[in-house]
């Protein structure tokens, strides 16, 4: 590990185990090379790995899928992301699947993320996931085993060939922890082995049948179309928007911006009787000259934010959390990926003004640059967006 990375909070971890969970998901067990305990992790948080590349290492984040009470290792369960229609394969996932072996050493940064289980709450919990979005939920269900809360673990995926960690989740079932699996296209083998509880796309009728009326806290993760559909349906059955916590895997902004998009699929409530007899659930799926600075600053009032390239100005009133969200609320589409100060994809030039970070970046940008996903303005600012 380079001294530079050590100074930025990274530690060396050794791959102690590599376990194939399904056709597309493999788990990696990472132990600290120094023999000390791992950092404390909250159920649902992720760790950051450095991935080799032709230039500087690429930073990739993966949810911790192991029991948070485990102090000797982290487990990450990674889906191999294959490119489509000319897009490249996933840099981090393919490196892990194809090149990383037991004994290899990886630089890892401490757990981060605001998507985690509220262990102080006593409300019943719904853990609702699609595809590899299950990984933070597995960590959560381990913690919930130690509580007195009612839990509904609802997971949807394509079929048994891609379903990971099934037996582990089932092992957490109890009289107060309900686990249900939904396959969109189950195979004959899946049916024979009774690996799933239902098939189809979730609708309001099924959600109402699965969840008794109660004051739930929902944790939601999965493909964006799946989450958008579930986000809307949950509110339709009475779950308050403020009680729905969610996390995107990949580039996405907010579910409120997604719910208006139509979702296609076959509703489970209109499935054949043999399907309806199963459990009721579904599956988804820069710098400028001094004159330019003065010109751009002229249309920014105190506390306002100006986007130089877009010739747009917006008031900062605290309605959103970050400069990125403010830009999005004005119809702009800045680059981003992690939304949490890790990947630096949202980095842009700060033409004038000053910002503050409400979440400390993993690697601070150079002077004159700012990460807009985790920062707010301190007075009037002009950004080169």
- Is residue 130 within 8 A of residue 226, CB to CB? The reply is yes
Task: Tell the residue number behind the tokens 């990947």, with chain if given.
Answer: 343
| pLDDT tens, N- to C-terminus, the chain (385 residues) | 444 444 457 999 999 999 999 999 999 999 999 999 999 999 999 999 999 887 777 899 999 999 999 999 999 999 998 755 444 567 899 999 999 999 999 999 999 999 999 999 999 999 999 999 999 999 999 999 999 999 999 999 999 999 999 999 999 999 999 999 999 999 999 999 999 998 877 778 878 888 999 999 999 999 888 899 899 999 999 999 999 999 876 555 567 766 655 544 445 444 443 333 333 333 333 323 334 433 433 333 335 899 999 888 899 988 888 999 899 888 888 888 778 888 788 999 999 999 999 988 888 889 999 999 999 999 899 999 9
Question: Is residue 43 one of the residues assigned to a domain?
Answer: yes
Instruction: Assess whether 271 and 305 both reside in one domain.
Output: no
Q: Where does a domain end: 276, 307, 338?
A: 276
DSSP letters, 95-147, are HHHHT--TT-EEEEEEEE-S----TT--S-EEEEEEGGGHHHHHHHHHHHTTS
Question: Is residue 285 one of the residues assigned to a domain?
Answer: no
Instruction: Assess whether 312 and 272 both reside in one domain.
Output: no
How many angstroms separate the Cα of 225 from the Cα of each of 38, 49, 103, 260, 300?
A: 35, 27, 38, 11, 37
CB-count exposure of residue 367 (10 Å: 0-12, 13-18, 19+): exposed
Distance (Å, whole) CA 208 – CA 348: 45
- Is residue 87 within 8 A of residue 72, CB to CB? The reply is no
DSSP state of 198: B
Length of the chain: 385
Distance (Å, whole) CA 240 – CA 70: 33
Question: Is residue 8 one of the residues assigned to a domain?
Answer: yes
Distance (Å, whole) CA 248 – CA 250: 6
Instruction: Assess whether 207 and 329 both reside in one domain.
Output: no
Strands 151-157 and 177-183: parallel
Distance of CA 56 to the CA centre of its chain: 24
Instruction: Assess whether 251 and 164 both reside in one domain.
Output: yes
Instruction: Assess whether 15 and 46 both reside in one domain.
Output: yes
Distance (Å, whole) CA 95 – CA 216: 39
| Alpha-helical regions (H) of the chain | 3-7, 91-98, 134-144, 166-170, 188-193, 204-210, 224-236, 273-276, 290-297, 323-329
Instruction: Assess whether 212 and 265 both reside in one domain.
Output: yes
CA nearest neighbour of 159 among 133, 128, 183: 183
Sheet arrangement for strand 369-371: 312-315, 304-307, 381-383, 347-352, 369-371
Provide the CATH number for the domain around residue 345. 3.10.20.30
What pLDDT was estimated at residue 370? 95
What pLDDT was estimated at residue 298? 39
Instruction: Assess whether 268 and 181 both reside in one domain.
Output: yes
Distance (Å, whole) CA 254 – CA 201: 22
Distance (Å, whole) CA 109 – CA 64: 12
Distance (Å, whole) CA 82 – CA 325: 29
Question: Is residue 327 one of the residues assigned to a domain?
Answer: yes
Instruction: Assess whether 269 and 189 both reside in one domain.
Output: yes
Instruction: Assess whether 157 and 235 both reside in one domain.
Output: yes
CB-count exposure of residue 189 (10 Å: 0-12, 13-18, 19+): exposed
Angle at 155 between CA 82 and CA 207, to 5 degrees: 130
* Neighbour tally for 312: CB within 10 Å: 15
Number of domains in the chain: 3
Distance (Å, whole) CA 88 – CA 174: 43
- Is residue 208 within 8 A of residue 287, CB to CB? The reply is no
Instruction: Assess whether 147 and 265 both reside in one domain.
Output: yes
Structural domain boundaries, residue 303: 290-383
Question: Is residue 117 one of the residues assigned to a domain?
Answer: no
Instruction: Assess whether 139 and 258 both reside in one domain.
Output: yes
Instruction: Assess whether 64 and 180 both reside in one domain.
Output: no
Question: Is residue 332 one of the residues assigned to a domain?
Answer: yes
What pLDDT was estimated at residue 249? 64
* Neighbour tally for 113: CB within 10 Å: 22
**Three-state DSSP class for 301?**
coil
Within 8 A by CB and 6+ apart from 257, the residues are 328
Token pair belonging to 153: 């673990």
Distance (Å, whole) CA 233 – CA 319: 25
CA nearest neighbour of 88 among 62, 120, 53, 64: 53
Q: Where does a domain end: 112, 139, 165?
A: 112
Question: Is residue 119 one of the residues assigned to a domain?
Answer: no
What pLDDT was estimated at residue 330? 87
Provide the CATH number for the domain around residue 37. 2.40.30.10
């Amino acid at each position: 590990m380079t001294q530079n990375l050590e100074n930025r909070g990274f530690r060396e971890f050794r791959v102690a185990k590599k376990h194939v969970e399904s056709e597309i998901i493999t788990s990696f067990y990472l132990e600290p090379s120094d023999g000390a305990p791992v950092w404390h992790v909250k159920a649902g948080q992720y760790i950051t790995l450095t991935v080799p590349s032709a230039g500087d290492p690429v930073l990739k984040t993966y949810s911790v899928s192991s029991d948070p009470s485990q102090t000797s290792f982290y487990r990450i369960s990674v889906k191999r992301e294959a490119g489509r229609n000319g897009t490249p394969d996933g840099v981090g996932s393919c490196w892990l699947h194809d090149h990383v072996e037991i004994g290899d050493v990886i630089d890892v940064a401490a757990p981060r993320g605001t998507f985690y289980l509220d262990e102080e709450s006593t409300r019943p919990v719904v853990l609702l996931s699609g595809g590899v979005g299950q990984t933070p939920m597995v960590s959560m269900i381990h913690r919930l085993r130690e509580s007195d809360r009612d839990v509904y673990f609802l997971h949807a995926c394509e079929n048994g060939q891609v379903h990971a960690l099934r037996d582990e989740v089932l092992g957490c079932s109890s009289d107060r922890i309900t686990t249900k699996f939904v396959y969109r296209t189950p195979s004959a083998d899946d049916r024979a082995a009774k690996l799933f509880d239902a098939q189809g796309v979730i609708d309001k009728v099924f959600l109402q049948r699965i969840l008794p009326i109660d004051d739930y806290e929902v944790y939601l993760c999965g493909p964006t179309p799946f989450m958008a559909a579930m986000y809307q349906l949950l509110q339709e059955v009475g779950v308050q928007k403020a009680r729905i916590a969610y996390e995107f895997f990949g580039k996405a902004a907010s579910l409120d911006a997604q719910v208006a998009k139509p979702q296609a699929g076959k509703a489970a409530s209109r499935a054949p009787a043999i399907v309806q007899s199963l459990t009721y659930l579904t599956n988804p799926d820069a710098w400028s000259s001094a004159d330019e600075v003065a010109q751009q600053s002229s249309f920014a009032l105190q506390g306002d934010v100006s986007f130089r390239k877009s010739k747009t100005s917006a008031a900062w009133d605290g309605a959103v959390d970050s400069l990125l969200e403010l830009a999005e609320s004005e119809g702009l589409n800045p680059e981003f990926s992690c939304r949490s100060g890790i990947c630096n994809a949202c980095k842009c030039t700060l033409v004038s003004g000053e910002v503050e970070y409400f979440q400390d970046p993993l690697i601070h940008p150079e002077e004159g640059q700012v990460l807009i996903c985790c920062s707010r303005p301190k007075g009037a600012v002009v950004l080169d967006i």
